[in-house]
Structure 1
Amino acid sequence: MSLSTLNKSSIINDFDAIDDRDYVSTELSAAPQRPGDVLSHLLLAAVLSSKKFHKLLSSPSRLIIMRAKDDTMAHLLDSYLSEYDPCLTVQAYTEMSRSGGRFEPKGRDELRKLEYGRSVVLISQDPERILIPEALVNADAIIDVPAPNLDAVRKTISCVTGKRVRGLRQSDIEGLRTYDLTAAIRPGLSPGRCVANLRRAASKRSSCASDMVNVPTLEELALTKEVSDWLFGTLQFMKKVTNDEMNPSVLRYACFEGLPGTGKTTVAASLAKSGNWGFVSTSVGEWFAGSGGHLGDVIRAAQRFFDDIALAKGPVIGLLDEIDALPNRAVMEPKDSQFWTPVVTYVLTEIDRLRQSGKPVILVGATNHFDRLDAALVRPGRLEAKVSFVLPTLDDRRWLFQGYVGRMLSVDAIRTLARLAIGASPAQIKSWCLTAIATAETQHRGLSLRDLVDLVAPPNARSAEMDKTVAIHEAGHAIVAHDLGLPIEEISILSLGDVGGFVNTGPHERTILTRSEIERFGTVLLGGRAADIVLGRGANAGAASDLEAVNHLLRSAMLDLGLYGSIKTAKNVDSRNFRDGVTLATAIEIELNRLLERAIEIVTRRQRDISCLVEVLLPERVVSGERFHEILAGGSSQRSVCNLKHTRSIGRPTQ
């Protein structure tokens, strides 16, 4: 008979199903006094009559498997049954053993005792995973031991204290595990004190669960379109699985990756809440913080997480945060391999176990460093769906603003806000919109563009002269990049922390770096300095980061990439004699001057375009790639700079 055909609380093979109710006696005077023994006694009585129980355990050469609700209960049953009959071989297994970096199932040694006529009882909270397959196939009986219910807990307290229990309710034991019960019910305490202990433990458990009450649903979250599409598509699958309309195999495990603070953890919890699924979370850091940091302790902490998911009563989402803390075995130092390889292997094995269980489970990993992950962790069948939590693009920002305030502002106003919100996270955009709406409602008026502009791009403390200096510098970068064939995505003169302005070049065809490509990027980096020299007040300290970047670029090209003469790498190059009697410092300086002259030539030739761009940047502060091309088209058709001022200036927003 296959395991899939077994019914809970059943005796299989040559044992008949239990029809009578002649349970093991639960009279208080007859029951054991230790809390664990009492619980074991009562729970076994719930599934086996006294007659059947005795017959099962006293028959020679019987193999019995008991499935406990958790690892603590497995060990309690072991202790109780070992004292029941010293001739009985009883062993609880709650985790697999490690051998040579692999995890092996248990129970082989105990099965050998069957040859000598001994009966064997193997107990586990997950026998299909932890015990050897031979034990499951050849078992004479597989017994599901139920979790303690209210009646069992009440009788345990009465038996341990010798007094009747009053006032115990279901809510007092809700969510408690076996070790919570045995820690709360102690010999020498009064029944009232035991009940108080249980209530305190249940309250702490429920407070953890109540955290989900404050978790927003997906509809309440600010999400980029890519993330939103994946989440709501997954939510539809979850609902169909819950309603038995689809098999759980359609569910894909995922890896949430992206910058810190982009809401990966919150989104995982929100997905669980929106689907009315359970939620279990942990992190690799917690495995170390909650243990002594020893290999066995870390693996046991990981096991508790995977067991909580596998043994959950209903559909569940599991979140494994900080998965980049599990090192990539391909680049691991040999000295670290002995510790980390078993941990990584165990996690991979447990992911496979969840996948193969056929249960309604979605496992989500979260990381800020996707490139550091072990390839086996994110291969198909494991955390296969990569969901990127990145800062919103211009289209994403437009989509987000449209969702929050699109009914209150014009299309042009939404476009303006999307331009100005460069670098903002979805959560920040949501906060701005809700704050602006609240401000307008407090003042009993409609929402205006100005309400949001003041939040998204508040006036900075820079002078008008400084703003123009920054605009000239960034316009120089943009025009030089455009002239050399690089697409422009956004140009900004907004002051964001230490950054006074920037130019984002959009995606372009990826090629293997050549000397000409190095020089193209180097020229773009010097475009801002060229504009400072030709159109501004001269070279200034604002180009410091540009100079560092271009120096690094050339140094790498000369010493590491072999693109300037010698193909010796940095380790074999004497910096005092780089090539043909020229030092490395001199060689870099020659190239820097040549690239700067090239940038100055472009800036000088396209002064009109730079001036047009500066005149638009000063009032608008952020220019998109689309707007950039509009400006260049206006300049090339001989329109005057003044005619460009029909654009939507945030100083005087058009409603």
Structure 2
Amino acid sequence: MTDDDRPDDSDDDDSRNDVVAPCPSDGRKKRLKTSARRELIDLIVGQAVGASLMRRLKTLTGRPLVVSVKAPGADWCKPLVGAFLRTNAMAILRDGSTKGDNAEKGNDVVSEALSEGKHVVGVSHLPEALLPATLTRAADARVEAKHPDGKIIRRLISMCVGRPPKNIPEDIVAGLSFDDIVSAFRRGATPSQVVAALAAASSAKCRVSVEDSTPPLDRMPGYARELREWAFALAEDVDAWRRHEREWRSISSSVVLAGPPGTGKSLFARSLAATLKVPMIATSVAQWFGTTAGYLDSVIKAADAAFEGARAAARNGGTGCLLLLDELDAIPNRNNVDDRHAAWWTTLTTGLLLRLDSATSDREGVILVGATNHVENLDPALIRPGRFDKIQVVGFPDSVGLAEIISFHMDGAMSPADVLPLARTQAGSTGAEAAQWAKDALRRARTAGRNVCFDDLVAAITSGAEMSPGDRRVTAIHEAGHAVVGVVVGRRIEAVSILSKGSTAGATSMRRAGSCFLPMDDIEKEVTVLLAGRAAEMVVLGRASGSAESDIREATSLVAAAHGSFGLGDDLLYRGSREKATELITFDPAFRRLVSEHLGRLMDATLDIVRRDRAAVEAIADALVERGYVEGDDAERIVKGAAPIIEKGDTR
């Protein structure tokens, strides 16, 4: 028997290192009639193993037995082993808390014990994965110790405290660990007080983190159609399972929500729970560390408790439960962990994988939802079928989605149609930002003692980022140039804005060509639009500012890729990916000259367009300076209705 397999007797409370001194008795409170710890374990083991098998384990006559015992959870393993240590069996504990807890370790211990005529009992919440393979293969009996139900709790109260009250719920200890249950049996407690303590602990453990105000997805704004369709399909599957028309294993019940911060992944999970009509339990690696001392076994038990709570909540009424594993990328990719920490993290990650694996754990009724900002950092084993079956991207909402989010958080004070023109100017914003604008606008109106208005929303978006009059004019000219050239080359303008947000002074939203595979003429149009802001500054203001850095970077990258990656230049030579082609500009003088000359020709063409349509540029810029934004339709009307500037020598 190895050190990894040697448990402490769960009944030996005096051996705990954290007990400094015994508490003196005041002599007034009566003691429990018997030990709740021992009686609970004996009831659970007796129910699972049966009296006949237990009698055989207590004798050494006849053929030695091998018994595999599945515990309700990792925290139950050590107490359960205590019951078998009182027999004549050698007991092996595997709760996943050490790196030796796997099927490859301890097989020699099992075979040696059997050859010496000893019974062998293995206890684990994941026996096939954690117990020695020899034990599970040779087992004469495979039993499962069930989480206690109302019947067990009634018997335990009767044995330890007194006559139990009537109508104890069957799920009275749903989600509770072994120690959670035992802690309710305090000295001097009455049966009713024990029941009340158990009910309160279970309610706290399985507390649903869905807020009452979180609406289901058919009323939740801002999410993409594909994401909603997946959720509604899952809801239909779960309903069919509840009606016993589908088996749980036929349902794809796990997903990773991946996307940038602020896109509403956790909110989507809460809304999904409301859609499915199930409770939601949220957990994370940070929570496992924050609620424990941080030791490996305590972190593993905290993780296991979250899964047990979800399973218990799912069993309650047979409706299911959603378990959210937030910040999933906090579980490191084992391939990237340094040698110093590899053993620690490998043990934790492996235990989690076994918990997630539908082939080795009981996940019936549990919908698993992981959330991450960095899906590329996840351990590949996490996102294979049978664990997390699918990855759903939660991206930035489009303009319609932003408008719906703003209206939703303004409690209908302004309709989506009212705020859509402004939403169109904020492309690339997150749902969280839109919600904050709405709340800030409402607060401004409340402070002023009036109803919220459009200007409150504009002020909320631009708060803390006001520009000087000079910068406002430069930004307006720049964005007007993008809009005018965009219309000329056939782009559909959605909005033009100088409502600054963060580091972005202005933006022009437009629909680009639909295909991902652009011919050279479409690439040139795209580059022309990118260069238009700088061109407008040069034509109208007589000089260019440094505001076009990102435009020039993107234009240079596109032209370099056209020649070096896409095979659209003078030759078909592949010089590398788009990124490599851009880097090549630094090291290859000939390639640099080729890209530079092409950009120069496109810049000349862009300047020609801006000179011809300067009146439209200035008209849009004036409107931007005045009100901060111009809707796409208005911008197009200005471009198509403004008289072109006919310069001297122009023969058109």
Common fold, TM-score beyond 0.5?
yes
Separation in 2, partners of 1:335, 1:74: 29
- How far has the Cα of 1:78 moved from its partner? 1.4
Aligned residue in 1 for 2:243: 243
Deviation of 1:243 after TM superposition, in Å, equals 3.3
With the length of structure 2 as denominator, give the TM-score of the two structures. Answer: 0.69
Aligned with residue 498 of structure 2, among 493, 507, 513? 493
- Are 1:368 and 2:373 counterparts? yes
CA positional deviation for 1:254: 1.4
Change (3 A) 1:592 1:282: same
Q: C-alpha distance in 2, partners of 1:559/1:194? A: 80
Q: How does 1:61-100 map to 2 (within 5 A)?
A: 61-83=64-86, 85=87, 87-95=88-96
Q: Distance in 2 between matches of 1:42 and 1:356?
A: 24
Q: Does 1:147 align with 2:148?
A: yes
In the alignment, does 2:618 pair up with 1:614?
Answer: no
Q: Is the 8 A contact 2:177 2:305 kept in 1?
A: no
Alignment partner of 1:388 out of 393, 401, 419: 393
Q: 1:183 and 1:374, CA in 2 relative to 1: closer, same or farther beyond 3 A? A: same
Q: Distance in 1 between matches of 2:312 and 2:104?
A: 20
1:498-553 deviations in Å (ceiling 9; x for gaps)? 32202245453566799988876655443212111111353234445545666788
Matched residue count: 593
Q: State the shift of 1:494 in Å.
A: 0.8
Letter in 2 for 1:526: L
Aligned to 2:278: 277
Instruction: Work out the CA distance in 1 between the residues paired with 2:361 and 2:173.
Output: 32
AA of the residue aligned to 2:508: V
Describe how 1:155-554 pairs up with structure 2 within 5 A: 175-181=175-181, 190-191=187-188, 206-207=203-204, 209-210=206-207, 212=209, 214=211, 216-219=213-216, 221-226=220-225, 227-248=227-248, 249-286=250-287, 305-306=306-307, 308-309=309-310, 313-314=314-315, 315-326=320-331, 347-353=352-358, 357=362, 359-374=364-379, 377-400=382-405, 413-419=418-424, 422-427=427-432, 429=434, 455=460, 461-462=466-467, 466-483=471-488, 488-508=493-513, 523-536=528-541, 538-543=543-548, 545-546=550-551
Determine helix, strand or coil for the equivalent of 1:235. Answer: helix
Compute the RMSD of aligned alpha carbons.
Answer: 5.6
CA spacing shift, 1:357–1:105, aligned 2, 3 Å: farther
What SS class does the counterpart of residue 191 from structure 1 fall into?
Answer: coil
The structural deviation recorded for 1:362 is 1.7
What CA deviation, in whole Å up to 9, does each residue of 1:164-197 have, x standing for no partner?
Answer: 89999979977531123456768xxx43599999
Separation of aligned partners in 1, 2:644 and 2:598: 36
Percent sequence identity over aligned pairs: 25
Corresponding letter in the other structure for 2:37: G
Structure 2 residue aligned with 1:9:
none
From the superposition, tell whether residues 212 and 550 of structure 1 become closer, same or farther in structure 2 (CA, over 3 Å): same
Residue of 575, 589, 603 corresponding to 1:579? 589
CA distance in 2, matches of 1:493, 1:156: 75
CA displacement, residues 6-43 of structure 1 (integer Å, 9 cap, x when unaligned) = xxxxxxxxxxxxxxxxxxxxxxxxx9976533432344
Cα 1:205–1:507 change in 2 (3 A) is farther
Checking the alignment, whether the CA contact within 8 Å between 1:69 and 1:145 is kept in structure 2 is yes
Letter in 2 for 1:474: E
Q: Which runs of 5+ in 1 are unaligned?
A: 1-30, 159-163, 639-655
Matches of 2:644 and 2:594, distance apart in 1: 42
CA contact (8 A) 1:254 1:364 kept: yes
Question: Is the 2:329–2:378 contact (alpha carbons within 8 Å) kept by the matching residues of 1?
Answer: yes
Task: Tell me, in whole angstroms, the C-alpha distance in 1 between the residues paired with 2:392 and 2:103.
Answer: 31
Structure-2 separation of matches of 1:205 and 1:351:
23
**TM-score, structure 1 normalization:** 0.69
Residue pair 2:560, 2:582 contacting (<8 A) in 1 also: no
Residue pair 1:57, 1:119 contacting (<8 A) in 2 also? no
Which structure 2 residue ranges, 5 or more long, are not aligned? 1-31, 646-652
1:111 and 1:195 mapped to 2: Cα distance? 49
Residues 486 and 493, structure 2, Cα contact 8 Å, conserved in 1: yes
SS of match in other structure, 2:281: strand
Give the Cα–Cα distance (whole angstroms) in 2 for the partners of residues 399 and 573 of structure 1: 45
Deviation at 1:330?
Answer: 8.0
Look up the SS of the partner of 2:85 in the other structure. Answer: helix
Q: Deviations over 1:40-99 (max 9, x none)?
A: 23444567776774356436333444443333332222123212x3x3233333339868
Deviations 1:454-510 (A, max 9, x none): 656779744666534322111212334555566655432112123220224545356
